[in-house]
Structure 1
Amino acid sequence: MDDLWKCLVIVLACLGRKACGSEIINGEKAPDGSLLYMASVQVRGVHVCGGFLISEDLVLTAAHCDDPGPTHVVLGTHNLKRVDDGNMINIEKRWKPCNYSTPGNGKDIMLLKLSRKVQLKNNVQAIPLRSSEIHLNENTKCRVAGWGKNKTDGGAVDELRVVDVAIINQQVCNDTWNHYLPANVICAGGYNTKKGFCQGDSGGPLVCNGKAVGVVSFNKNSNCNYTSDVPNVYTDISKYLPWIQGILNGANCYD
């Protein structure tokens, strides 16, 4: 019965993320001892999204990762075949912005409260968030990481992969997307480059200068054969710091 459930979860995850991101394209295996904040967001042992630890008991991910209902996260390993009870932590509560609907309408961010605090040590660390005072210049070198396929029609990988991407001018991004972008997003990778993310790695962080600045949200038409079409799109974390603080202050629903 467990095998049947896992198959169903995989099917639902694939159907639910046709417009969203997941595989790292033209990246490399993440070096041991790096990216210690990365989390695999899972449903009963099946990886469905990326995420990242921001405190001892809080993980950030994408709001669209709420379907099909994640049950736990895995921390402290790059290899999803090397998971035990010490790596796996149940999700106690999930918060999305009140009027979130789809990634294309914005507000694609979700906060996960873990059932217990993790010990920050050599293989697990939290990552600081970008504040609104930090300006991202065009061509700033950043990185995005995740688990999954490494090409559009490829197979999934068990080991974390990472790729360098550059920040793209917001006006250029809006123009290439024909001004269909929601508010409060950042663009990086997938445009004039063959590097970026793809379906399945949603929720992972865009990291610039050691800070998490964005959350993997969506690309175009599930096509990861990147050349010069349109940029990848991330939720701008700095615009949601009041939302995060509102949740921490006890609000059940806060926009």
Structure 2
Amino acid sequence: MGLISLVAIAVLLLAGRIHASDKLSQSYISKLGHEVQWKHSTTEMKERVEKQDILEIRTENRPIINEPIEGASMSITGRANEGQCGQPVSRVQSKINGGQNADQASWPWHAGVYRYDSSSGEYNFWCSAALIRPNIVIGAAETCLAGTDIAFITYISLGSQYVNSQSRLFAVQDIVCHEGYSVDADGFDICLAKLASSVAYTYNVKPVCLPSASQYPEENESCVMTGWGPSSHDGPLSPTLKEAPVRILSAGDCRNAGTRTTWDQFCAGGTGAYPCIFDEGNPVVCQENNAYVLKGITSGHSTNCSGTNPTPGRFTNVSDYDGWISNHVSRLEDESNTCYDPSTFISCGSKITRSNTILRSPVSNQDTWHYPRSTICEWYVEAPAGKDIRVISMCDSEITSSFRDYCYGDYLSFTLDDGQSTDVCGANYWFSVNTTANKMTIKFRSNSDDLVARGFVVKISFGGGMIALSSATLITFLCLLANYFMHL
């Protein structure tokens, strides 16, 4: 068996190990057990070399690092006295766990957070959030929006009162959680998520008002919590959005009732209004100046959310984060949108002759940014004579196959004029393809099944020739792979 064949087999085994363990169903079980935080299992970095002296492809996983912003400031529209937010069409209060359903459009800012499993094509409901800008929602970190590399599998539902309708889902571009949040400590349980596309406000999609730093929740203040959580810890989700009146309690009453809060939390309760699992992120709104203001975000769930003596829920006090929200909304809105830029669409069959061209997979709609089924699209890259071609991913990519099944379903391929090629598929958080040749065909293929994902975004550039890889380099690479498998 030739040296190149050994390299290819080793690469397939390594890639299969990485992608095969990346199953959303495992995280869903962890959510039900409420013991393990979601984390991608694909934390390794892998390298593979194919076709000696011709093609080189590298892939790795990159964690998302959210750094604090210093000196950023802005004024967020949507305060209670501006008349642009917190305006439901109708309102009827009922119980969240076992009570009556909320009216359509009664809480138009309520958002569902879903995680997409590309191996099954299913959207799993995860938690709730609230719309505060046309492209930004706010929610909880704990078992909700926090996690490594989850923005790419997170989708937001808006405008529906049914948990399983998923009639309008929006891809998430980025998630920023508070720098102080930790799974091992309480507090700082707050995140912002930026949608890949802005939504148009309608009668059933509107933002909630944000409180100022001085709009603290007051003892005995009457508010409303909304959500799809079950009526008991092990019960099914409510198919229809529910609402429940809650009364804000004093710190002493919280302690006496068995609920411990941190400096940035308050507790509240009411008949049938005790948050259960999957209620994380539920908004708590209070009416002020004829508008609803987001006073709290459900933090975790009650240790006893049903029965004769349920414990009051804990809620992050949104007014404590007035400055943090302003700073990070500013950062998110200034963030580059390269991964979801319609101008990066290049027609199938096009010839690419300009360096630094951005190319993305076809898109079936710009809400989810999923590629269409049954699609074959080719682009022809030609660099000037004496130049090599370099292709590097600009964003997290996912194409619904894995190296384990040899990219049988959907894949992205890179082919030279002499027929040599390499494929990319599965979940690659970063990859690059380099060649000493100056011509290449890039092909994207999706099959007819319902399993689709967000595809790829790459930058194609031309450089000065690559250094040819020697046999000694390949042998060293094989030794490194062998050492890796020996220590598994």
TM-score bracket, shorter-length normalisation? 0.7 to 0.9
User: Which of 188, 197, 205 pairs up with 1:116?
Assistant: 197
Tell me the CA shift for residue 88 of structure 1.
0.6
With the length of structure 2 as denominator, give the TM-score of the two structures. Answer: 0.45
User: Is the alpha carbon distance of 1:183 and 1:102 closer, same or farther for their aligned partners in structure 2, counting shifts above 3 Å?
Assistant: farther
Tell me the CA shift for residue 182 of structure 1.
1.6
Aligned residues: 239
Deviations 1:43-78 (A, max 9, x none): 011110001100101100101112483511010111
Point out where structure 1 has 5 or more consecutive residues left out of the alignment: none
User: Which of 79, 82, 87 pairs up with 2:162?
Assistant: 79
Is 1:138 equivalent to 2:202 in the alignment? Answer: no
SS in structure 2 of the partner of residue 162 of structure 1 = strand
Is 1:61 equivalent to 2:142 in the alignment? Answer: no
Is 1:8 equivalent to 2:26 in the alignment? Answer: yes
User: Is the alpha carbon distance of 1:61 and 1:135 closer, same or farther for their aligned partners in structure 2, counting shifts above 3 Å?
Assistant: closer
Tell me the CA shift for residue 241 of structure 1.
1.2
The residue that corresponds to 2:294 in the other structure is: 212
Point out where structure 2 has 5 or more consecutive residues left out of the alignment: 1-21, 38-94, 117-122, 333-488
SS in structure 1 of the partner of residue 269 of structure 2 = coil
The answer to whether the Cα contact below 8 Å between 1:144 and 1:206 also exists between their aligned partners in 2 is: yes
Tell me the CA shift for residue 227 of structure 1.
4.3
Aligned-residue Cα RMSD (Å) equals 2.6
CA distance in 2, matches of 1:14, 1:228: 22
The answer to whether the Cα contact below 8 Å between 1:18 and 1:199 also exists between their aligned partners in 2 is: no
Tell me the CA shift for residue 226 of structure 1.
5.2
CA distance in 2, matches of 1:82, 1:169: 38
Could you tell which deviates more after superposition, 210-219 or 112-121?
A: 210-219
The residue that corresponds to 2:107 in the other structure is: 35
CA distance in 2, matches of 1:171, 1:12: 33
User: Is the alpha carbon distance of 1:227 and 1:102 closer, same or farther for their aligned partners in structure 2, counting shifts above 3 Å?
Assistant: farther
The residue that corresponds to 1:152 in the other structure is: 233
Q: Which has the higher contact order (CA 8 A, sep 6+)?
A: 1
CA distance in 1, matches of 2:310, 2:223: 20
SS in structure 1 of the partner of residue 328 of structure 2 = helix
User: Is the alpha carbon distance of 1:226 and 1:241 closer, same or farther for their aligned partners in structure 2, counting shifts above 3 Å?
Assistant: farther
Question: Which structure has the bigger radius of gyration?
Answer: 2
SS in structure 1 of the partner of residue 321 of structure 2 = helix
Tell me the CA shift for residue 28 of structure 1.
2.1
Tell me the CA shift for residue 161 of structure 1.
1.2
The residue that corresponds to 1:200 in the other structure is: 278
Letter in 1 for 2:158: L
Tell me the CA shift for residue 181 of structure 1.
2.5
Tell me the CA shift for residue 175 of structure 1.
4.9
Deviations 1:97-152 (A, max 9, x none): 11211385100001001101100111200000122222433222111111131223
User: Is the alpha carbon distance of 1:194 and 1:163 closer, same or farther for their aligned partners in structure 2, counting shifts above 3 Å?
Assistant: closer
The answer to whether the Cα contact below 8 Å between 2:115 and 2:155 also exists between their aligned partners in 1 is: yes
SS in structure 1 of the partner of residue 105 of structure 2 = coil
The answer to whether the Cα contact below 8 Å between 1:152 and 1:224 also exists between their aligned partners in 2 is: yes
User: Which of 174, 198, 222 pairs up with 1:93?
Assistant: 174
CA distance in 2, matches of 1:89, 1:194: 31
SS in structure 1 of the partner of residue 299 of structure 2 = strand
CA distance in 2, matches of 1:18, 1:172: 30
Letter in 1 for 2:223: C
The residue that corresponds to 2:91 in the other structure is: none
The answer to whether the Cα contact below 8 Å between 1:13 and 1:67 also exists between their aligned partners in 2 is: no
CA distance in 2, matches of 1:109, 1:158: 26
User: Which of 236, 243, 263 pairs up with 1:183?
Assistant: 263
SS in structure 2 of the partner of residue 197 of structure 1 = coil
Tell me the CA shift for residue 176 of structure 1.
4.3
Deviations 1:161-181 (A, max 9, x none): 111111111232245448x53
Letter in 1 for 2:277: Q
User: Is the alpha carbon distance of 1:121 and 1:234 closer, same or farther for their aligned partners in structure 2, counting shifts above 3 Å?
Assistant: same
The answer to whether the Cα contact below 8 Å between 1:24 and 1:201 also exists between their aligned partners in 2 is: no
Deviations 1:192-229 (A, max 9, x none): x44321111101111111111000003443x2125446
Letter in 2 for 1:133: S
User: Is the alpha carbon distance of 1:99 and 1:134 closer, same or farther for their aligned partners in structure 2, counting shifts above 3 Å?
Assistant: closer
CA distance in 1, matches of 2:309, 2:204: 37
CA distance in 2, matches of 1:168, 1:245: 28
With the length of structure 1 as denominator, give the TM-score of the two structures. Answer: 0.84
The residue that corresponds to 1:235 in the other structure is: 316
CA distance in 1, matches of 2:293, 2:200: 20
CA distance in 1, matches of 2:186, 2:228: 25
SS in structure 2 of the partner of residue 188 of structure 1 = strand
Letter in 1 for 2:253: V
SS in structure 2 of the partner of residue 47 of structure 1 = strand
